Amino acid sequence: MPTELQGRKIAFLATDGVEKVELEEPRAAVQDAGGQVELLSVNSGEIAARNHDLEPAGTFAVDRVVGDARVDEFDALVIPGGTVNADKLRLDESAVAFVRDFVLAGKPVAAICHGPWVLVEADVVKNRTLTSYPSLRTDLRNAGATVVDQQVCIDGNLITSRSPKDLAAFCQAITDQFATTPAHT
């Protein structure tokens, strides 16, 4: 078993409406590389996943409420997409503050599809280069970002990707980038 993420703890931040594959595949990639994963959400219990935003796709158990988590407990953060997920996250003050603090701490933050909406709300995209699902690109530009149309974009500690079709490249990018970050102590 690969161990490039051994000793690293990765936070995943999601809520109801998360796109199932955008949580499952990156989480599996991190775990397969030896990383420890914790699912944070705005509420305790379970979150309802979706396929293509509309079809119910089961649930995921929440490990902890984001308001009870601290940035210094984690080495990296992943924000899966799902239109409803991202919209609910960007309306939650504790989720937005956690993302903002994570980016400002210089730790890797990865967001796919609609996930970058939370980065916009956290006011951390100005003068950064990102990619996202096409419908978010105007929002990113209006928040001061440069937008590119590519599978994965890495700008410093921000890793962004467009959609589920780019999951293989996104998963490879996050495991590679997270492996270069020293594990927290």
pLDDT value at 2 more than 70: no
Q: What is the pLDDT of residues 77-132, one digit of tens each?
A: 999 999 999 999 999 999 999 999 999 999 999 999 999 999 999 999 999 999 99
pLDDT of residue 89: 98
Please report whether residue 39 resides in a domain. Answer: yes
Tell me the mean pLDDT in the region 50-74: 97
Please report whether residue 4 resides in a domain. Answer: no
Please report whether residue 102 resides in a domain. Answer: yes
Q: What is the pLDDT of residues 156-179, one digit of tens each?
A: 999 999 999 999 999 999 999 999
Please report whether residue 184 resides in a domain. Answer: no
Number of domains in the chain: 1
Please report whether residue 159 resides in a domain. Answer: yes
- Domain CATH for 64: 3.40.50.880
Please report whether residue 132 resides in a domain. Answer: yes
Catalytic residues: 113-114
| Per-residue 3-state assignment (H helix, E strand, C coil) for the chain | CCCCCCCCEEEEECCCCEEHHHHHHHHHHHHHCCCEEEEEECCCCEEEEEECCCEEEEEEECCEEHHHCCHHHCCEEEECCCHHHHHHHHCCHHHHHHHHHHHHCCCCEEEECCCHHHHHHCCCCCCCEECCCHHHHHHHHHCCCEECCCCEEEECCEEEECCHHHHHHHHHHHHHHHHCCCCCC
Please report whether residue 14 resides in a domain. Answer: yes
What is the span of the domain harbouring residue 41?
9-179
pLDDT value at 1 more than 60: no
Please report whether residue 2 resides in a domain. Answer: no
